[in-house]
Amino acid sequence: MEFEYQEEYVKSSRGVQLFTCRWLPSDSSSPKALVFICHECGIRLARARYAVFGIDYEGHGRSSGSRCYIKKFENIVNDCHDFFKSVCAEKDYRYKGRFLYGESMGGAVALLLHKKDPLFYHGAVLVAPMCKISEKLKPHPAVVNILTGIENLVPKWKIVPTKDVIDSAFKDPFKREEIRNNKLIYQDKPRLKTALEMLRTSMMVEESLKLVTLPFVVVHGDADTVTDPEISKALYDRARSKDKTMKLYAGMWHALTAGETDENVGVVFADIIAWLDKHAAEGNLVVEPLHETFNVGIQKLPTPPPAAEKHSHRNYLCGFKEPRTLHSAM
């Protein structure tokens, strides 16, 4: 099944130019539901008849801002919140179910979006989410105190030592090399402020896991060394959701949907789509529509985006015309 891919730039309430995109089923039938992705690609979901919407975070992909610099993680969450709600206010989508989809750092974004408006979304797909710092990786408090003391002096300093995430995340060597050759992938050391914001956010999300109430499925590779599988287990155990599912995949690494063999990727997506189909089925959802006058401060920029294209075989990610890519290597 083909899909239609569209691009558009918007301006946030903070005046930041952000790149957005959408993958839509190309046939005449109405989409089953809306899926809002935080950090991933929507092709397979569009082919499964979901309308998928993505946004490049500030400083990531084709959005404006210093490369992979996160001044406040809250800004990322607010930008996603505003853009996703602006889509829900569109006439064609007001009565559609709404699902979040977050991978890695995007998992934290998805959980914080749920925390911001607990009743708005009907469910979430979380893939190796960054929702807790593994005990094996927690920095010593003394180190954190030292870095915190200088973060406002040199916030963009590329000082934080880190292992090569691409080598640790992408199991398939061919796909690993594709990622390395993508010029929009940030492969330098994390900036000081960014690293501290990620640490604080992970700790904050961990503390609020018991507040998670929406239906969700969390999937994780049991050989993941980037986000320890214990993180997903903590989410599953602590969340108050009555409808929750966890799936562990033997021998799989961090990049479940982009860095595994095609066969493994197919297995993961089959599980994800089966979960979405069950929860988006007609009669299972009650949708409170947003009104046409709803305004969240998102401004569509006048420069027209490239004409909508139809694709049948190529893989695209929000912000990139490269196969199987991610917003950043973080």
User: What is the model's pLDDT at position 56?
Assistant: 93
- Which of 101, 121, 123, 120 lies closest to 110, judged by CA? 101
Cβ pair 249, 264 in contact under 8 A = yes
Distances (CA, A) of 66 to 40, 148, 237: 21, 20, 37
Q: Name the catalytic one among 81, 122, 254, 327.
A: 254
Determine the pLDDT at residue 71.
92
Q: What is the mean pLDDT of the chain?
A: 84
Q: Is 224 a catalytic residue?
A: yes
What's the burial of 285, exposed, middle or buried (CB within 10 Å: 0-12/13-18/19+)? middle
Q: What is the DSSP letter of 210?
A: G
Query: CATH no. for residue 92?
Result: 3.40.50.1820
Question: 187: domain range?
Answer: 3-311
Helix, strand, or coil (residue 119): coil
Instruction: Find the mean pLDDT for residues 262-278.
Output: 96
What is the pTM assigned to this prediction?
A: 0.87
Task: Single out the catalytic residue among 104, 202, 232, 328.
Answer: 104
In a domain, 31, yes or no: yes
Q: Is residue 173 part of a domain?
A: yes
In a domain, 247, yes or no: yes
Q: 304 pLDDT exceeds 90?
A: no
Using 50, 70 and 90 to split pLDDT, how confident is the model at 292? low
Residue 89 lies in a domain: yes
Q: Is residue 192 part of a domain?
A: yes
Which of 56, 82, 172, 224 is labelled catalytic? 224
Percent of the chain with pLDDT over 90: 52
| Residue 322 domain-assigned (yes or no) | no
Active site residue 254: yes
Q: Give pLDDT, residue 120.
A: 95
- Measure the N-to-C terminal CA separation of the chain; round to a whole number of Å: 32
Confidence of residue 234 (pLDDT cuts 50, 70, 90): very high
Name residue, tokens 């602590």.
Answer: 238
What is the Cα–Cα distance from 52 to 50, expressed in whole angstroms?
A: 6
Model pLDDT, residue 167: 81
User: Which residues sit opposite 207 in a β-bridge?
Assistant: none
pLDDT at 196 over 50: yes
Helix (H) / strand (E) element for 100: namely strand 98-103
223 against 299, higher pLDDT:
223
114 tagged catalytic: no
H or E, element range at 245: strand 244-249
So what's the pLDDT on residue 284? 77
Tell me the per-residue pLDDT of 59-117, one tens digit each, with 9 for 90 and over: 988 898 888 899 999 999 999 999 999 999 998 999 999 999 999 999 999 999 999 99
Q: Is the pLDDT of residue 119 over 90?
A: yes
Alpha helices in 209-315 (DSSP H): 229-238, 262-280
For the chain, how many structural domains are there in total?
A: 1
Q: Buried b / exposed e across 15-39, counting CB within 10 Å, b at 16+?
A: ebbbbbbbbbbbeeeebbbbbbbbb
Average pLDDT over residues 289-314: 59
Q: Tell me whether residue 321 is in a domain.
A: no
Label residue 31 by pLDDT band (50, 70, 90). Answer: very high
Q: Is 41's pLDDT higher than 80?
A: no
Q: Would you say residue 32 lies in a domain?
A: yes
Per residue in 128-186, pLDDT tens? 999 877 666 677 788 888 888 888 888 888 876 666 678 888 899 888 888 888 776 77
